[in-house]
A and B are shown apart, each in its own frame.
Chain A
Amino acid sequence: MEFLRPLVSFLAKIFTPKGAQRRYVLLVVLLVLVVFLGTYNWAKPWNVFATKFNNAIKVDLLGKYSPKDFSLGLDLYGGTHLVYQADVTNIADKERDSALSGVRDVIERRVNLFGVSEPNVQIDKVGGDYRLIVDLAGVTDINQAVQLIGETPYLDFRIEKPGGATTTADFLATKLNGKNLKKATLSFDQTTYKPQVDLQFDSEGAKLFAEITKANLGKRVGIFLDGAPISIPVVQSEITGGNAQITGSFTSDEAKLLVKRLNAGALPVAIKLISQQNIAAQLGGVSLAKSLKAGLYGFLAVIIFMILLYRFSGILASLALFVYAVIVLAIFKFIPVTLTLSGIAGFVMTIGIAVDANVLVFERMREESKNGKSLMASLEDGFSRAWPSIRDSNISTLITSGILFWFGSSIIRGFALTLAVGIVVSMFSAMVITRLLMRVFINTRLSKCISFWIR
C-alpha cells in the first residue's frame, strides 16, 4: 500500500545495518519497552515487588501502576445479558433515536443504583426495530436483574384525538414522556386531603407541556403509566411552570411507591424483554483458567516447532513472539478490549499468523542462500522480498476483521478487535523486532556457521 511506504522507508532508515551502535541502542529501547509493558500487564505482582524493593533500599525508586485489570467479557466474568425490544410505534420516526437514548439513560441510572460496576447498555437498531442490550457483569441473579429493570415505569402524556375520545385507544401520543421528568413528589390535596403525585418537568418538558395545554384548552390530557391511563384531567388553562399533578384515586402507600419508581427514572417508551442470557461466574472462571492454559500451551508448542524448524533463527523469532504477546496484551488492557473466550482463541490464532510472517521470511532466506548469497545478504533479501506477501495477505485478513467488527454482536466484535490488533502488531514483530534481533546476532561470530541459522 502506498501510504505504508514512508513508514517503511523510515523504519528501514533506522534499521539499516549501519553501525553496530545504533543496533544496540535499539535493542536497549526494545528491552525497556518490554519491561515497561510487561510490568503494566502484570501490574499486581509488580506492585508487590516494587513495594518490597522500595522498602528494602528505603528510597521510592520503583514506580507502581494503578491495579487495572483486563476487561473480561460476560462469558469469562459471569453476568447477565438482556435484550429488550422497544415499542416505538407511537413515536415519530425522527424522535425515535432520542427516545431510545432516553431509555438507555434511564436504564443506566437504574442499573447504577443496583450497584453494578460498569454496566454496559447499548442501543441496537436492526432494520426498523429498536433494541436495548443490557450487559451486567457480575450480576448472576438474573431474576433480580430482570425485576429491577422491569419495574421501571413507562410514563407518557397523550391528547384526545380530534372529535373527542371515548376509549383509551382514542388518545394520541405526544412528544412529552418519561424522558422529560425531572422530579416527582408526593403531596396532598388542600381540600380533599387525597394523596396526589406532583410531576416536575425539565425545561424541554415544561415547554412541551405548555404547548400541549395551550392547544387543548377544555379538552382532556391523559397521563399514562405503563400504557394505562392513571389520570385524565381536563385542561383548565395553559400551564407554563412545568408542573403537572396526577390525582388518581390511590392510597398514600400506592402514591409513595409511584413517586419512588418515577424518581428512579421513567421510560419514554415501553420495553419488552425478548432475550436473556445468564452465565454463572463459576462457569466463567473454569473456562477462563482453561483458555489461558490452552493459550500458554499453544504458545509453547509454536515456539518448539519454530526452533525445530529454523534453529537459531527460530529462537530469535520466538523471542520476537514473546515481545509480540507482551505488546498485544498491553494494548488489550489499555484500550480496553473486552476479552471473551473466542477472543482468547482469536489471540492464539494471531500467534499463528505472527509465526507465518517469520516462516515466510525464513523460507525466503533459505532460498536466497541456496542461490549462493552470503548469510547477511540473504537475511536482508529474505526480509525485503517476503514483505509484499506478508503485507497483502495480512491486509486481506484485516478486511475480514473489519467486516466482522461491523457485523458485530458483542462476542464477535471482541474477536474481530483481537484479530485486528494481533495482525498489526504481528507485522511489527516479524518485520522489525525479528529483523533487529537477527542483525544484532549476525554481526557476531555466530554468522560463521550458516547451518546454525537456517536448515
Chain B
Amino acid sequence: MLIIKYRKIFFILSALLIVGSLVSLFLWKLNFGIDFSGGALLEANFAGGSLPSNDQIKNALSGAGVKDVVVQPTSENGVILRFETVDDKTHQKIVVALSALAQKDQKFEEKSFESIGPAIGQELKKRAIYAILATLVGILFFISFAFRKVSKPVSSFEYAMAAILALFHDMIITLGIFSFLGKFAGFTVDLPFVAAILTVLGYSVNDTIVVFDRVRENLIKRMGNNFEETVSISINQTFVRSLATSATVFIALLIIYFFGGESTKNFSLALIVGIFFGTYSSIFIASTLLVSWYKNKLKKS
C-alpha cells in the first residue's frame, strides 16, 4: 500500500536520476573502448626488470611513426599502450622498437595486440542500437500479447508501455553511471557492455512481468476493491520474491566482479548497476505507472 501511496516520491527520484544521467552523458559522453571507437591497443610485458619510462616508450613509438600514444602501466612489468589504428607493417616496427627498449637480461613480450579500423566501430555502434531497439519492440509485442486477456481496466498495450518505460529508465541510468565512471574511473563501453545492457533489459522485463503476472491473476480472481488496491496487493505478494531473486543474482555478479579477473570487470559492473535499477524499476516504477495512468483515465471520464 505504501509503495502505491508514495509513488510520486519514486517518480521524482527516478526523474532526478534520469536527468542526472542525461547531464552526465551530455557533459562527459561515453568512454568508448576500441571496439567502438577504433584504434589500437598493445599490452606488453618487460619481464625481469623495471619498465622503461613513459617518455622512452613514447619516443620508441614515434620512431615507428606513431604519435599520440597513451601509456598506462598495469603492474611492475606490464604496460598498456593505446594509439591510432595502424597497419601491420607499422605494428612490426613498433614491436622492434619496443624490444630495443628492454635492458640486459630483460625480456620484452607482446601479450596482446588489437587494431580495429574506425569503420568497424561505427558499424558496431549502429548494430548495437538496432539490437537494443529490436529487443524493445520484441518485448512490447510480447507483453501486449501475453496480457491480452486482462485488457480491463488498463489495456495490455499499456502494460507493455509501462514495462518499456521502465526499461528506458534502467538503460539511461546505467549509461549515465557508466559515462560518469568512464570519466573518473576509466571504465569503458565496449562490446560486452552492450551484451550486459541487453541482458539487463531481459532481466528487468523478466522482473516486471512477474509483478504484472500477479496483477493479471489477481484481476481475474477479483482481488481488491479497485485497480489501485489490486496492484498494491500484487506488489506486496511479489516483493519478497523480487528481493530474494535479485539478491541471488547480485551475489553471483559481485563474485564475478571481485574474483573474475580484469577482463570481466566492466561487464559484471554493468550488470550489477543495471540489475539494481532493473529491480528497483520493476517494483517502484512499472506497476505504479499503471495505477497513475488508470487514475488519469478516471479523471478524464
Contacts and interface: CB of A to CB of B under 8 A. Distances in A.
A363 B87 contact: no
Interface string A38-60: 00000000000000000000000
Given A349-B252, A360-B210, A397-B206, A404 B198 contact: yes
Nearest to A279: B112
A78 B255 CA distance: 24
Contacts of B238: 363
Size bracket, chain B contacts: 35 or more
A280 B199 CA distance: 28
B88 interface: yes
Given A273-B88, A276-B88, A400-B199, A345 B241 contact: no
Contact of B130 (A83, A342, A363, A407): A407
Interface stretch (B63-71, B168-176, B262-270, B290-298): B262-270
Interface string B243-269: 011011101110110011111100110
Nearest to B260: A294
Nearest to A402: B138
Given A287-B261, A392-B209, A277 B123 contact: no
Given A309-B244, A359-B244, A409-B124, A392 B271 contact: no
B142 interface: yes
Interface string B199-214: 1011101110110011
Interface stretch (B19-27, B100-108, B189-197): B189-197
Contacts of B165: none
A194 B273 CA distance: 72
Given A282-B111, A286-B261, A397-B206, A294 B116 contact: no
Contacts of B91: 142-143, 276
B194 A348 contact: no
A378 to B, nearest CB: 15
Contacts of A197: none
Interface residues of A, number: 74
A150 B88 contact: yes
A406 B143 CA distance: 21
A341 B113 contact: no
A396 B202 contact: yes
A306 B247 CA distance: 10
Query: Which of A295, A297, A341, A407 gathers the greatest number of chain B CB atoms within 10 Å?
Result: A407
User: Majority SS of interface residues in chain B?
Assistant: helix
B112 A298 contact: no
Query: Which of B92, B115, B124, B252 gathers the greatest number of chain A CB atoms within 10 Å?
Result: B252
Contact of A291 (B112, B139, B264): B264
A287 B268 CA distance: 14
B244 A352 contact: no
B2 interface: no
Nearest to B190: A411
A401 interface: yes
Given A396-B142, A407-B127, A275 B116 contact: yes
A291 B113 contact: no
A293 interface: yes
A412 interface: yes
B27 to A, nearest CB: 29
A298 B251 contact: yes
Contacts of A397: 202-203, 205-206
A395 interface: yes
A412 B191 contact: yes
A419 interface: yes
Nearest to A405: B131
A278 B112 contact: yes
A293 B271 contact: no
Interface in B14-73: 43
Interface string A298-314: 11011001100100000
A415 interface: yes
B146 interface: yes
9 contacts: A129-B119, A275-B115, A287-B261, A287-B263, A290-B259, A302-B248, A359-B244, A388-B213, A395-B142
* Those 7 A-B pairs whose CB atoms lie nearest each other, nearest first: A400-B202, A352-B249, A407-B131, A290-B261, A389-B213, A393-B206, A274-B117
Given A345-B268, A352-B249, 12 more contacts: A126-B123, A275-B120, A341-B192, A341-B263, A349-B252, A389-B210, A389-B214, A393-B213, A399-B139, A403-B138, A407-B194, A412-B192
